[in-house]
């Protein structure tokens, strides 16, 4: 009788484990489809596949980050922020989510929050973060946000400060 119970418990556990593995494999395939759509610029379809991946495996930080990237490309910054918050909750040291949420907060004109996440990302992986926030990339990004918010005085001041930094860097490089 004990043997039968042990066999039954083993079979149930194996079934549960196999089901989880199958779910994770399906989630990975859905994520891959989403990435292909993301690369092609079809952000809506990418977002749909990333959501399906999340539904199959709600513990995978990559899926939330990828979903957020699709949202960022569609200028759905609040939705992106929500997904990135989940990714960071799953892994507080996930540098891609930290840098993405810094960018999202900047687009939402939450400059202090953007800076806070940027600093956190620097502490986690300074080389990745420095590359992601190279001065030329930051200036281009700020110009983009400024073009969407031409009357924002904070953006004007940020741009002025960045130009000073750029000019000083140019002087030192000569």
- CATH number, domain with residue 102: 1.25.40.10
What is the C-alpha R_g of the chain? 21
Question: Quick one: pLDDT at residue 12?
Answer: 58
DSSP letters for 52-63: HHHHH-TT-HHH
pTM (two decimals): 0.84
148 falls within a domain: no
pLDDT category at 21 given cuts 50, 70, 90 is low
Assigned domain for 166 exists: no
Q: Note whether residue 96 is domain-resident.
A: yes
**Number of residues that this document lists for the chain:** 174
pLDDT in tens, 77-117: 999 999 999 999 999 999 999 999 999 999 999 999 999 99
Q: Quick check: is 11 in a domain?
A: yes
CA distance 88 to 139: 26
pLDDT tens string 123-150? 999 999 999 999 999 999 999 999 999 9
In a domain, 146, yes or no: no
Inter-CA distances, 122 with 98, 105, 149, 163, Å: 9, 16, 27, 22
Instruction: Give 161: exposed, middle or buried? Use CB within 10 Å, 0-12, 13-18, 19+.
Output: exposed
The answer to the question of residue 149 being in a domain is no
Domain count, the chain: 1
Q: What is the mean pLDDT of the chain?
A: 91
Q: Distance between CA atoms of 69 and 63, rounded to whole angstroms?
A: 10
Domain of 27? 1-133
Task: Give the number of other Cβ atoms within 10 Å of residue 135's Cβ.
Answer: 12
């Amino acid at each position: 009788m004990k043997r039968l119970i042990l066999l039954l418990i083993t079979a149930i556990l194996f079934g549960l484990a196999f089901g989880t593995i199958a779910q994770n494999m399906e989630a990975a395939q859905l994520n891959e489809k989403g990435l292909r759509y993301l690369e092609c610029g079809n952000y809506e379809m990418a977002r749909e596949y990333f959501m399906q991946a999340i539904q199959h495996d709600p513990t995978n930080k990559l899926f939330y980050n990828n979903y957020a990237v699709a949202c960022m490309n569609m200028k759905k910054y609040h939705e992106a922020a929500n997904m990135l918050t989940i990714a960071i909750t799953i892994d507080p040291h996930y540098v891609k989510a930290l840098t993405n949420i810094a960018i999202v907060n900047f687009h939402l004109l939450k400059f202090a929050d953007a800076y806070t996440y940027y600093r956190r990302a620097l502490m986690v992986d300074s080389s990745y973060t420095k590359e992601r926030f190279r001065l030329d990339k930051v200036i281009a990004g700020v110009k983009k946000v400024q073009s969407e918010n031409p009357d924002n005085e904070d953006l004007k001041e940020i741009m002025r400060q960045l130009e000073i930094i750029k000019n000083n860097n140019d002087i030192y490089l000569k």
